[in-house]
Amino acid sequence: MSSVIGIVSVALVASLFMSFTVGANSNSAPIAPAVGANALSTLRGALLVGIVAALGAIAQGGSISETIGHGLVTGVTITPLAATATLLTAATLITIGNSRGYPIPSAFTVTGAAIGAGVALGGGFAVVTYAKILGFWFAIPVVEGVLAYGLAWLLLDETVSDTLSIPLLAGGVGYALANIQLSFLPAPQSNQGSIAGVVTRQFNVASIGGGGAGIVLIGGVIGLLTAGIVYWQLRRDVTTGINRMLVALALVVVFTSGGSQVGLATGPLESVFESSLGLPSLYLLALGGLGILFGGWFRSPRLIQAVAREYASLGPKRSIAAFIPAFLIAQAAIVLGYPISFNKVMISSIIGAGLVGGSSSSDGVSATKTGYTVGAWIVSMVGGGAISFALYHVLAALPGLE
């Protein structure tokens, strides 16, 4: 019994270490375009990253945590020892990349490490799940690059007024926010609901045309209110209004990043919490949120600078164009339960938006830096799997840990 408690304790510490690393690494990327556009200072951005990403982790982290914990290998239940091997491998690789200034994709690393440890445990490959996740990953740079490029082109088109294009985009984001699933909002026959859903039921809007129509109506109203607020800000002062829109979008994306990234730290411990501790997953998400909070505060400034200054220097409008696709893609991943790397998400958007207006001097994208990053993505997943596989066997061979 004492050995089991010891292994679980090590796994919990490893999860906290991993969530700290995620907070320092992946959750810092979304704030970078706002820092690059001089709408926020680096230190203030790091402070906000910790708080907002931690809230997102608790509110939206459950689905991806479930996939990591139960969906990547078949035929076995992840043990505390396998969870420890997964988390130690992933956190160590990400920390090395962080210290060198190259954002390592957390999703690639954790997914590879989880598969490696699960196979070492005797599990089989969940091929169908891998195909779906890989398909989503391959679609990210294409979809995001095209969307970000198109939105940047629209926002930089001088024939389109800022008081038209920016409120229109803000309204779309407001509608999406009204419909995202949050763990603290109840819903019938479900464990979570949306703002639009709660308002629809509270005021019996569903009687107008059915539950679905009521939710669409409330979401539309929230979108219109968001567009109206942004329009009012732009009418008062265009520069201030754009910067406030940029910061608001940055915080929305940081919130989403917390929800999509915490599962990378907590997923391997899903079965441990259920079988060994008998605690609900909300406690596990809270632990991950705590780690993300401190990781964002203490270690993210360097990565914020790396993404903001070295990949592309974006102005406020192109930064807005980078945020919106990142937000939409990450929310889609949360709905589907697919682990994603926010470094990849943000870099794809930054590149797409950064290509509008040229690719040279301060407006350009660093091809060399981008190439190194793509190589790190591949190596991190394959290497993570191999190292985690070997580490599990090493730990299992130690006296009292088998």
DSSP string, 109-144: HHHHHHHHHHHHTT-EE-HHHHHHHHHHHHHHHHHH
Residues 317 and 246: their CA atoms lie apart, in Å, by: 8
Burial of 302 (0-12, 13-18, 19+ CB in 10 A): middle
pLDDT digit string (tens) for 47-76? 888 899 899 989 888 889 889 988 899 888
**C-alpha distance from residue 388 to each of 82, 99, 123, 270 (Å):** 8, 21, 14, 18
What average pLDDT does range 221-247 have in this prediction? 92
- Residue 282 counted as domain residue: yes
- Residue 53 counted as domain residue: yes
pLDDT of residue 363: 47
Burial of 150 (0-12, 13-18, 19+ CB in 10 A): middle
Residue 399 pLDDT greater than 90, yes or no = no
Residue 24 pLDDT greater than 90, yes or no = no
pLDDT of residue 310: 52
Residues 122 and 100: their CA atoms lie apart, in Å, by: 35
124-125 and 73-74 beta bridge pairing: antiparallel
pLDDT of residue 133: 92
Question: 145 φ, ψ to 5°?
Answer: -60, -45
Residues 179 and 185: their CA atoms lie apart, in Å, by: 11
Under the phi-then-psi rule, with left for phi > 0, alpha for psi from -120 to 50, and beta for the rest, what region is 210? Answer: left
Higher-confidence position of 305 and 390: 390
Closest to 170 (Cα-Cα) out of 327, 353, 345, 342 = 327
pLDDT of residue 35: 79
Helix pair 342-354, 367-397: axis angle to 10 deg: 170
Under the phi-then-psi rule, with left for phi > 0, alpha for psi from -120 to 50, and beta for the rest, what region is 69? Answer: alpha
Residue 360 pLDDT greater than 50, yes or no = no
- Residue 87 counted as domain residue: yes
pLDDT of residue 311: 47
Higher-confidence position of 268 and 302: 268
Residues 53 and 192: their CA atoms lie apart, in Å, by: 19
Q: Which domain holds residue 356?
A: 2-153+260-397
- Residue 228 counted as domain residue: no
What average pLDDT does range 102-130 have in this prediction? 87
Query: Is there a contact between 3 and 400 (Cβ–Cβ < 8 Å)?
Result: yes
- Residue 199 counted as domain residue: no
- Residue 170 counted as domain residue: no
**C-alpha distance from residue 183 to each of 48, 186, 223, 291, 334 (Å):** 21, 7, 22, 19, 12
What average pLDDT does range 2-12 have in this prediction? 70
Residues 180 and 127: their CA atoms lie apart, in Å, by: 29
Closest to 70 (Cα-Cα) out of 272, 219, 333, 352 = 272
Per DSSP, 273 falls in state I
Q: Could you count the other beta carbons within 10 Å of the beta carbon of residue 236?
A: 9
pLDDT of residue 39: 74
- Residue 24 counted as domain residue: yes
Query: Is there a contact between 113 and 90 (Cβ–Cβ < 8 Å)?
Result: yes
What average pLDDT does range 329-339 have in this prediction? 92
What average pLDDT does range 305-330 have in this prediction? 78
Residue 255 pLDDT greater than 90, yes or no = yes
Closest to 29 (Cα-Cα) out of 308, 367, 351 = 308
pLDDT of residue 227: 95
Mean pLDDT of the chain: 82
Amino acid in the structure at residue 349:
S
Among residues of the chain, what percentage have pLDDT more than 70? 83
Per DSSP, 73 falls in state E
pLDDT digit string (tens) for 188-231? 655 468 888 888 877 776 655 555 777 888 889 999 999 999 99
What average pLDDT does range 240-245 have in this prediction? 88
pTM value is 0.83
Query: Is there a contact between 255 and 278 (Cβ–Cβ < 8 Å)?
Result: no
Token reading at 25: 């690494």
Query: Is there a contact between 263 and 58 (Cβ–Cβ < 8 Å)?
Result: no
pLDDT of residue 169: 95
Question: 83 φ, ψ to 5°?
Answer: -65, -40
Per DSSP, 364 falls in state S
- Residue 177 counted as domain residue: no
Which residue do the tokens 């394959």 mark? 382
How many separate domains does the chain show? 1
pLDDT of residue 173: 95
Higher-confidence position of 378 and 70: 70
DSSP SS3 for 13 = helix
pLDDT of residue 146: 93
Most confident of 185-199, 279-293, 359-373: 279-293
